[in-house]
Amino acid sequence: MLVANKTYTATIKTSKGDIVIQLDTKSSPSFTNSFVFLAENGFYNGLTFLKVERLNQISPETNQISNIDLIQGGKGGDAQAGPGYTLKPDSTKGTYALGVVAMANPSQFFINTADNSQAITSTSYPIIGTVTSGLTVAKAITRGDKIISITITSKTVVPTPTATSAPTSPPATVAPTTAPASPTAVSGNSAAVTIQSFAFHPQVITVKVGTTITWTDKDSFAHTVTSVSGPTSFNSGDLTPSGGTFQFKFSQAGTYNYHCMIHPSMTATVIVVS
């Protein structure tokens, strides 16, 4: 799951060397998040670069002279098994210049090893980053070369302090105006939890016995609502992205911890009181 105040780097390890990518978390966050999620879970390990196009050479796809230059890795296109979920289509917000990395689908990525901005006119391949080192390695890749691993590293971005003039007198002590965050308490027989940006909102909710909670998946990813601990268990199965719902009535008091089975870092709690 991408965090707003962090930058992300992906290192693709191959037998010919490493390719380092600075990931773009703003242009197409759902596709970047998919790449990060799959990489962190070892999806790409051992897969091959299944498509390699070299400018002015015979394309293995068309048997014609190719007008593009790129390498493509992963699986999920055509008859290949994918990640088990789909993403809402997203138009690119840039051009396929040298070094730009884009997604062909939710689980296949390609690296532009030349400037393909004139040859690839479609905007249906979301851009997720740019190669910062190892471009010569990418240019040396041939069809069938293996992806040994993809490692994701992140770095917290610390805001630059804003310069201010020195105070003319000591600042007065001001009491806090807001209390620390606490569980959301809900009255009545129904409550709602939204699944958005790879998180449950609210993350902690307090309801009374007999309350029915409805979860709504507003992400473009499939998620699950699956109990981890508590008096009774529940499991939504895969929720349909962008609108899928699940309801569960809590008939026993207690603390229910749950998560998304597809994205286990997504956790939340329901506290049921008498």
Per-residue pLDDT of the chain (274 residues; tens, 9 = 90+): 688 788 999 999 999 999 999 999 988 899 999 999 999 999 999 999 999 999 999 988 888 999 999 999 998 765 567 888 888 877 777 889 999 999 998 899 999 999 999 999 888 899 999 999 999 999 999 999 999 999 999 998 876 665 555 555 554 544 444 444 457 777 789 999 999 888 899 999 999 999 999 999 998 777 889 998 999 999 998 888 889 999 999 999 999 999 887 777 788 999 999 9
Fold of 6-156: Cyclophilin (2.40.100)
Site of tokens 């999920």? 76
Question: Could you tell me the CATH superfamily of domain 184-273?
Answer: Cupredoxins -  blue copper proteins (2.60.40.420)
Domain ranges of the chain: 6-156, 184-273
Q: How far is CA 72 from CA 105, 216, 246, in A?
A: 11, 35, 37
pTM above 0.85, yes or no: no
31 membership: H or E segment, kind and range: helix 29-40
Beta bridge partners of 194: 201, 216
Beta strands in 57-197 (DSSP E): 70-74, 100-103, 108-112, 127-133, 147-156, 184-185, 190-195
